[in-house]
């Protein structure tokens, strides 16, 4: 199956469904991953 990553400033109710949880601004986090 697919893997799910959550990028958010703070915890959310859907975090338990994610394989990876990254807290912070997506504009700062995503460039580091690519």
How do the domains of the chain map onto residue ranges?
Answer: 1-34
Considering only CA atoms, which of 32, 31, 17, 24 is closest in space to residue 5? Answer: 17
The 3-state DSSP class for residue 23 equals strand
Contacts of 26 (CB under 8 A, 6+ apart): 7
What pLDDT, in 10s, does the model give residues 1-34?
Answer: 999 999 999 999 999 999 999 999 999 999 998 8
- Please tell me the number of Cα atoms within 13 Å of 19 on its side-chain side: 5
Considering only CA atoms, which of 30, 33, 13, 16 is closest in space to residue 4? Answer: 16
Q: What integer pLDDT is reported at residue 34 of this predicted model? A: 86
């Amino acid at each position: 199956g697919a893997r799910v990553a959550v990028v958010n400033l703070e915890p959310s109710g859907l975090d338990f469904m994610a394989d990876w949880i990254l807290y912070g601004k997506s504009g700062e986090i995503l460039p580091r991953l690519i």
